[in-house]
């Protein structure tokens, strides 16, 4: 039994909605102290003794917080990863993290990896929200499915770049802290939500595209076939008539 484009669109919207919810969990981490937002962070590291830093630092989307996402800094767009400590600290963090960016707190590589990842995350969120609203149009027409599929694909491309940059940034940071004999671990919730949202977005994109190619409603195909057959029959009759006239003048 063929699945209609409406069914494909509805299922796709469910996955797209799930992706959006997980994205918002990541963005809102550190805003409140309720679960799961209090457990959502990209990296948790021991920064005890570093000038201006908390004993435990947790990096979230808008904040650098203390243990359990408490004692957070003021929210900033694309905050420097080195905002967890003072500029030019007397007791320095791992050397590869420190540089002349973000008020002499962050190195060139970490400054741009996190900054571009942060921006691409917002761009992907914009396209995902846009695709969700176009999904209602996709339920009504195949053209809507095609448009929603293209917008969701754009969201997927930007989100893939964003999550890849974020993962690279904080995996390298964790390794730098560990190499400096400090405890550090990645946030399971933040990366679970981030890559879970990526998987849901991928499935949603595929389903929107399948909806565009779903079987046509009953009756469309046979009418076109009958029309072609009638034309073909008419042509044969005309040809037979001309042949009879030529043979019997």
Span 107-118, pLDDT tens digits:
999 999 999 999
Among residues 7, 6, 8, 2, the alpha carbon closest in space to that of 208 is found at: 8
Residue 236: pLDDT over 60? no
Query: What does the pLDDT read at residue 21?
Result: 96
| CB contact at 8 A, 55 and 66 | yes
| Tokens coding 212 | 């565009």
Comparing 50 with 143, the larger pLDDT belongs to 50
Query: What does the pLDDT read at residue 208?
Result: 85
Mean pLDDT, rounded, for 96-104: 91
Mean pLDDT, rounded, for 184-210: 94
Query: What does the pLDDT read at residue 244?
Result: 42
C-alpha 194/C-alpha 40 separation (Å) is 11
Mean pLDDT, rounded, for 20-32: 91
Q: What is the pLDDT of residues 127-141, one digit of tens each?
A: 999 999 988 877 777
Comparing 149 with 244, the larger pLDDT belongs to 149
Cis peptide before 36 (omega within 30 of 0): yes
Least confident of 4-18, 40-54, 180-194: 4-18
C-alpha 108/C-alpha 100 separation (Å) is 7
**Mean pLDDT rounded to a whole number for the chain:** 84
Residue 186: pLDDT over 90? yes
C-alpha 62/C-alpha 72 separation (Å) is 9
| Tokens coding 143 | 């053209």
Provide φ and ψ at 86, rounded to 5°.
Answer: -75, 155
| CB contact at 8 A, 40 and 193 | yes
Residue 89: pLDDT over 80? no
Query: What does the pLDDT read at residue 204?
Result: 93
Mean pLDDT, rounded, for 138-156: 85
| CB contact at 8 A, 82 and 95 | no
Residue 86: pLDDT over 70? yes
Mean pLDDT, rounded, for 237-241: 52
**DSSP element (H, E) containing 185:** strand 184-186
User: The pTM is what?
Assistant: 0.82
Residue 225: pLDDT over 80? no
Give bridge partners of residue 43 from the DSSP assignment.
59, 186
- Residues 6 or more apart in contact with residue 53 via CB below 8 angstroms: 47, 84, 85, 86, 89, 93
| Tokens coding 31 | 């805003």
CB crowding 210-224: b at 16 or more within 10 Å, else e: bbbebeeeeeeeeee
Where do the DSSP E strands lie in 33-145? 43-46, 56-59, 64-65
C-alpha 149/C-alpha 154 separation (Å) is 9
Q: What is the pLDDT of residues 50-85, one digit of tens each?
A: 998 999 999 999 999 999 888 888 888 888 999 999
């Amino acid at each position: 039994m063929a699945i209609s484009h409406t069914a494909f669109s509805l299922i796709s919207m469910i996955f797209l909605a799930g992706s959006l919810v997980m994205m918002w969990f990541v963005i809102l981490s550190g805003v409140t102290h309720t679960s799961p937002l209090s457990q959502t962070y990209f990296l948790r590291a021991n920064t005890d003794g570093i000038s201006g830093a908390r004993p435990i630092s947790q990096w979230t989307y808008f904040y650098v917080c203390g243990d359990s996402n408490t004692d957070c800094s003021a929210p900033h767009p694309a905050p420097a990863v080195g905002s967890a400590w003072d500029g030019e600290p007397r007791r320095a963090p791992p050397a590869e993290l420190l540089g002349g960016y973000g008020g002499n707190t962050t190195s060139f590589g970490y400054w741009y990896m996190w900054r571009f990842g942060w921006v691409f995350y917002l761009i992907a969120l914009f396209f995902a929200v846009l695709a969700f609203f176009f999904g209602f149009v996709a339920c009504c027409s195949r053209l809507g499915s095609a448009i929603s599929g293209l917008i969701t694909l754009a969201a997927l491309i930007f989100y893939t770049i964003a999550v890849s940059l974020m993962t690279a940034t904080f995996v390298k940071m964790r390794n730098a802290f560990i190499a400096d004999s400090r405890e550090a671990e990645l946030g399971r919730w933040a990366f679970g939500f981030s890559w879970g949202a990526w998987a849901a977005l991928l499935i949603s994109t595929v389903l929107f595209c399948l909806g565009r190619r779903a079987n046509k409603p009953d009756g469309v195909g046979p009418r076109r076939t009958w029309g072609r057959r009638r034309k073909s029959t008419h042509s044969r009759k005309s040809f037979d008539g001309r042949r009879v006239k030529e043979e019997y003048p």
